[in-house]
């Protein structure tokens, strides 16, 4: 039997492609190596699935922003909300701008997508791993079972993050065999590890609002991000760490002297803090650094970085050292926590190798690519799913048009 469209990978992007290809009248098979489909959707957003964000712009992503912008414009956040409403998932916006299902359950999203896929007439085949794809008069998909024939193929195999969900990077090998290049891949949205003993690892569970910056060996600030940092038994995590991780990894790969630096008083420099401490000491010489900064920096961090010396007795050098440690603390990160703990993959098939209007490959006619397999990664907040919804829908619409 020849399908019009075979979608490889039933994750967020693949299910979206299958729904829109099926609705467009194509005879669709969507195959996934995993026995249980949708593991990544189920673990997303801490089990709540952060479906999208109330404002999504190309600047929320790393990758070719012109192409990303063109793809984003085809399906706005409002249209995404309406689509989910239509398939039975009402979304709510949280204070941070993130949108979640009102049920607070990722399974609501997965169940609705699977239902919509079936209603669109697409056949879902779980436990069917695609080993290779051969081209000819049609595509021949070699699987762990019987081969599948299809006129068009949508490759939606994701990246390499959390490989036990089924996204183990084999899609990159398939894309390569069909004429694509694959840029170097590395974990993104990943916690960072401090290997040697360090006080940060002793303060597990402490969370602080910080500004993090990646500083090159020549002390140039390459990237800044602000948000919550969580201190853990292995190093650092939390939204701001996840967001900056891919920038630290990329810079560190280029220059071993790259450092990650934390400011526990975002917006304040060491000089400003010193001035503040001098002024506070004049008003109350018995006060301490901790009493001045109470409520601004977590108590456990203050008691580690600032001695209880009264401000009136604090030597200039000591004051300078404390101000620097609170505003420019180097975090001795030795490595990232790897793909097992990364939410996304940085790198992949370059966007320049696909038609952004259709998601069709420029290297292999009849092949479409969407989702995380492409060289796009978004910041934390629902942006990676929005990329999957947009690019998957576009691939599905366009491969069905030829049916
Ligand atoms: C812990 C975690 C939490 C996250 N939370 C969020 C969040 O809240 N919001 C957000 O926007 N993003 C989140 N993300 C990122 C988001 O889940 C991904 O960017 C998105 O799921 C990518 O969709 P995809 O369809 O491209 O790939 P995937 O979802 O990875 O799907 C790819 C599918 O292809 C299948 N497959 C792979 N190779 C083969 C093969 N050879 N043959 C057959 N099938 C194959 C896999 O089994 C898999 O089901 C999170 C990620 C993780 C890991």
CA of 277 to the centre of ligand 1 (A): 49
d(CA 209, CA 41): 28
CA of 333 to the centre of ligand 1 (A): 27
CA of 41 to the centre of ligand 1 (A): 7
Atom of ligand 1 nearest to the CA of 34: 47
Question: What local confidence, expressed as pLDDT, does residue 326 receive?
Answer: 98
Q: Whose CA is nearest to atom 51 of ligand 1?
A: 343
Question: What local confidence, expressed as pLDDT, does residue 48 receive?
Answer: 98
Cβ within 8 Å of residue 287, ≥6 positions away: 280, 281, 310, 311
Judge if the beta carbon of residue 337 lies within 6 A of ligand 1: no
CA of 162 to the centre of ligand 1 (A): 8
Q: Whose CA is nearest to atom 35 of ligand 1?
A: 9
d(CA 127, CA 121): 19
Atom of ligand 1 nearest to the CA of 130: 42
Q: Which residues pair with 223 in a beta bridge?
A: 214
Judge if the beta carbon of residue 189 lies within 6 A of ligand 1: no
Judge if the beta carbon of residue 167 lies within 6 A of ligand 1: yes
CA of 81 to the centre of ligand 1 (A): 20
Sort strands 192-193 and 235-237 into parallel, antiparallel or unpaired: antiparallel
CA of 40 to the centre of ligand 1 (A): 5
pTM of the model: 0.96
CA of 260 to the centre of ligand 1 (A): 28
Judge if the beta carbon of residue 346 lies within 6 A of ligand 1: no
d(CA 172, CA 9): 12
d(CA 291, CA 313): 15
Judge if the beta carbon of residue 396 lies within 6 A of ligand 1: no
Cβ within 8 Å of residue 175, ≥6 positions away: 155, 182, 349, 369, 373
CA of 125 to the centre of ligand 1 (A): 17
- Average pLDDT per consecutive 10 residues, the chain (403 residues; last block may be shorter): 95 98 97 97 98 98 97 98 98 97 98 98 98 97 97 98 95 98 98 95 97 96 97 98 97 96 97 96 96 96 95 95 97 97 98 98 98 98 98 97 68
Cα Rg of the chain (Å, integer): 24
Q: Whose CA is nearest to atom 22 of ligand 1?
A: 372
CA of 102 to the centre of ligand 1 (A): 22
Domains for the chain: give ranges and CATH numbers: 2-186+342-401 (3.50.50.60), 188-265+330-336 (2.40.30.10), 272-318 (no CATH)
Q: Whose CA is nearest to atom 47 of ligand 1?
A: 166
Question: What local confidence, expressed as pLDDT, does residue 92 receive?
Answer: 98
Judge if the beta carbon of residue 10 lies within 6 A of ligand 1: yes
Question: What local confidence, expressed as pLDDT, does residue 401 receive?
Answer: 82
Helices and strands (DSSP H and E) totals, the chain:
13, 21
Judge if the beta carbon of residue 11 lies within 6 A of ligand 1: yes
CA of 336 to the centre of ligand 1 (A): 20
Neighbours of 266 (CB within 10 A): 17
Class of residue 267 by CB neighbours under 10 A (exposed 0-12, middle 13-18, buried 19+): exposed
Question: What local confidence, expressed as pLDDT, does residue 1 receive?
Answer: 75
Q: Whose CA is nearest to atom 3 of ligand 1?
A: 44
d(CA 337, CA 22): 39
Judge if the beta carbon of residue 388 lies within 6 A of ligand 1: yes
Question: What local confidence, expressed as pLDDT, does residue 361 receive?
Answer: 98
Q: Which residues pair with 210 in a beta bridge?
A: 227
Judge if the beta carbon of residue 381 lies within 6 A of ligand 1: no
């Amino acid at each position: 039997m020849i399908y019009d469209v075979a979608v490889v990978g039933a994750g967020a992007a693949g299910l979206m492609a299958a729904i829109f290809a099926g609705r467009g009248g194509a005879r669709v098979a969507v195959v996934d190596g995993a026995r249980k489909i949708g593991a990544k959707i189920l673990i997303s957003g801490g089990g709540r699935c952060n479906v999208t964000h109330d404002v999504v712009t190309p600047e929320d992503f790393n990758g070719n922003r012109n192409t990303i912008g063109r793809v984003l414009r085809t399906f706005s956040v409002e249209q995404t909300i309406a689509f989910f409403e239509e398939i039975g998932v009402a979304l709510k916006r949280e204070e941070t701008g993130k949108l979640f299902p009102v049920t607070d359950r990722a399974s609501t999203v997965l169940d609705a997508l699977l239902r919509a896929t079936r209603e669109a007439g697409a056949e879902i085949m779980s436990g069917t791993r695609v080993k290779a794809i051969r081209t000819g008069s049609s595509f021949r998909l070699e699987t762990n079972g019987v081969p599948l024939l299809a006129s068009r193929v949508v490759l939606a195999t994701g990246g390499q993050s959390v490989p036990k969900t089924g996204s183990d990077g084999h899609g990159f090998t398939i894309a390569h065999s069909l004429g694509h290049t694959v840029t170097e891949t590395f974990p993104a949205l990943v916690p960072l590890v401090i290997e040697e003993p360090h006080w940060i690892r002793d303060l597990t569970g402490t969370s602080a609002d910080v500004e993090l910056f990646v500083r090159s060996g020549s002390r140039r600030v390459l990237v800044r991000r602000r948000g919550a940092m969580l201190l853990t038994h292995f190093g650092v995590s939390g939204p701001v760490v996840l967001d900056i991780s891919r920038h630290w990894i990329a810079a560190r790969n280029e220059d071993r002297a790259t450092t990650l630096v934390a400011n526990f008083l975002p917006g304040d420099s060491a000089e400003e803090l010193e001035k503040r401490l001098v002024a506070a000491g004049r008003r109350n010489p018995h006060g301490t650094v901790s009493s001045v900064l109470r409520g601004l920096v977590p108590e456990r961090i203050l008691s580690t970085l600032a001695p209880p010396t009264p401000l009136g007795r604090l030597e200039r050098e000591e004051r300078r050292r404390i101000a620097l440690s609170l505003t420019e603390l180097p975090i001795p990160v030795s490595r990232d926590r790897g793909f097992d703990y990364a939410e996304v993959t940085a790198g992949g098939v370059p966007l320049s190798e696909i038609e952004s209007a259709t998601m069709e490959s420029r290297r292999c006619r009849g092949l479409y690519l969407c989702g995380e397999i492409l060289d796009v990664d978004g910041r934390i907040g629902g942006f990676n799913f929005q990329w999957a919804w947009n690019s998957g829908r576009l691939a599905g619409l366009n491969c069905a048009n030829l049916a």
